[in-house]
Amino acid sequence: MPLTPQEELEVALERAAKWLRGSKSVCVLSGAGVSAESGVPTFRASDGLWEGHRIEDVASPDGWERDPALVWNFYNARRANVATVKPNPGHAALVGMEKRWGDRFTLVTQNVDGLHREAGSKNVLEIHGSLRHTRCLGCGAVTNRGLEPLGDAPKCPQCHGRLRPHIVWFGEGLDDDIWMAAMQAADECDALLVVGTSAVVYPAASLVPIARRKGATVIEVNLTRTEASAQADVGLYGPSGVTLPKLVERLS
Ligand code: BJW
Ligand code: ZN
């Protein structure tokens, strides 16, 4: 008799837990799906649209050149959304994993909502930047502004230059030091967890083949199969706020 989806998940959880128990070093690549159960919308579920605008038009250097006030309205709306939400049990489970592996655990996140840190994760690499930070186009200062609304033309308190969101937009390079650290963590890990990401955005998605090349086990946690599934040794298909706590439970 074929296994039910629940039985399949139990088998996959046991395999994933066994691999993790044998791993000295663990890396996680997380994406928008981890925060979905907190109430933060994912990118590709909403057809890549925000109030009728394509995400690429409000999250790109071209969009910024065309209409910076629209871009700030987009980010103020995102900041306001994040101000109302809390980390979920998926975030908490990753905090539990970091407690087990200590400095041999690296959480590489594409998320800009800051919920991993709010949950208590320490070794977090925010490769796409942060909704809470601004960057001054005059003096370059990067400042944590929390989640208060900033208006549609905020100015730098130090030099009165124009501020932009401290976010990596399409077509922009990632911060070199952060990206190098992410690649090193993927290269050196024994297990890579790929959680809540469609794995279509590069270079983030390249962490999967980087980890595999050195023989790491790849564990996918997602609602559905993704671009990364063919490279995964095991897939835990279900909401990460449910499956990650189950996985961490099986580690002890
Ligand atoms: C659940 C769940 C639950 C739901 N439980 N799971 C061709 C090849 C290679 C590269 C390129 C290329 N063409 C263009 C590029 C470059 C481009 C790129 O990759 N584009 C692709 C879309 C094709 N990349 C870049 O531009 C990057 N820079 C770069 O490459 O620099 C070098 C360069 C310079 C100049 C020219 C060319 C190259 C920068 C990428 C920056 C990405 N930034 C964004 C927007 C930030 C804006 C913002 O946040 O405001 O970051 S894009 C957007 O996607 C955001 C995310 O971090 C990122 C990833 O999305 P994510 O997290 O995977 O979310 P979703 O919605 O896609 O998926 C959610 C998943 O969760 C789904 O799988 C669900 O099933 C799952 N899920 N609920 C578990 N409860
Ligand atoms: Zn400044």
Q: Which residues pair with 225 in a beta bridge?
A: none
User: With the C-alpha atoms ordered 219, 222, 94, 134, is the resulting torsion angle positive or negative?
Assistant: positive
Q: What DSSP letter does each residue of 122-134 carry, written as one string?
A: -SEEETTEEEEEE
Contact (Cβ atoms closer than 8 angstroms) between residue 245 and residue 97: no
Q: Which ligand lies nearest to the CA atom of residue 156 in the structure?
A: 2
> Looking at this protein, which amino acid is placed at residue 62?
D
Tens-place pLDDT, residues 132-187: 999 999 999 999 999 999 999 999 999 999 999 999 999 999 999 999 999 999 99
When the candidates are 3.30.930.10, 3.40.50.720, 3.30.1600.10, 3.40.50.300, the CATH number that belongs to 55-84+135-167 is 3.30.1600.10
Domain 5-40+87-128+174-251 has CATH 1.10.3470.10: no
Q: Which residues pair with 136 in a beta bridge?
A: 163
Tens-place pLDDT, residues 86-135: 999 999 999 999 999 999 999 999 999 999 999 999 999 999 999 999 99
Between CA 206 and CA 214 the distance in angstroms is: 13
Atom of ligand 1 at shortest range from CA of 42? 66
| Three-class SS state of 200 | coil
Residues around ion ligand 2, judged by CB within 5 A, are 136, 138-139, 141, 156, 158-159, 161
All structural domains of the chain with their residue ranges: 5-40+87-128+174-251, 55-84+135-167
**Do 55-84+135-167 and 5-40+87-128+174-251 have the same topology in CATH?**
no
